[in-house]
Amino acid sequence: MKVKLTKIFRFEASHRLDHLPEGHPCRHMHGHSYQVIVEISGQVNPDTGFLMDYGDMKDIVKPIIDELDHKHLNDVEGLNITSAVYLARWIWEHIKPQMPLLSRITICETGSTSCEYEGE
Ligand SMILES: [Zn+2]
């Protein structure tokens, strides 16, 4: 049986998008209460009835989210452009090696926007 599971993580951070044209509001220092939806997909283990234990997901993802929480994202190593698109890819690249079942990262910067990344 193939299923998808998601777990939601949250963090607060500031950033600036310096490459945008003068006058764009995102050039200014500002912050978001980010929501990160981590999705995995695959075949359920019939012995456990799980695809993956949510606790194991947390053990892998939480330390990565902690690298971003209450930080200025422009200072995070490897995150040269701090748009939601590049943030989704940065999180993917840090989680995927430890979590092969990872199938999607969704970043919500606000209550009305989201960005989905499913790898290259
Ligand atoms: Zn922003």
Bridge partners (DSSP) listed for residue 3: 42
Indicate the DSSP class of residue 74: G
Global pTM? Answer: 0.95
- In the annotation, is 15 catalytic? no
Residue 7: C-alpha distances to residues 1, 55, 72 (Å):
20, 10, 24
Collapsed DSSP state (helix, strand, coil) of residue 94: helix
**Which of the following is catalytic: 19, 24, 70, 72?**
70
Q: What is the mean pLDDT for each group of 10 consecutive residues in the chain (120 residues)? A: 97 96 93 98 95 97 98 96 97 98 97 96
Ordered domains of the chain (ranges, CATH): 2-117 (3.30.479.10)
Phi, psi of 55 (to 5 degrees): -65, -35
pLDDT in the model for residue 82: 97
Q: Give the pLDDT of residue 96.
A: 98
Residue 83 Cα to ligand 1 midpoint, Å, equals 7
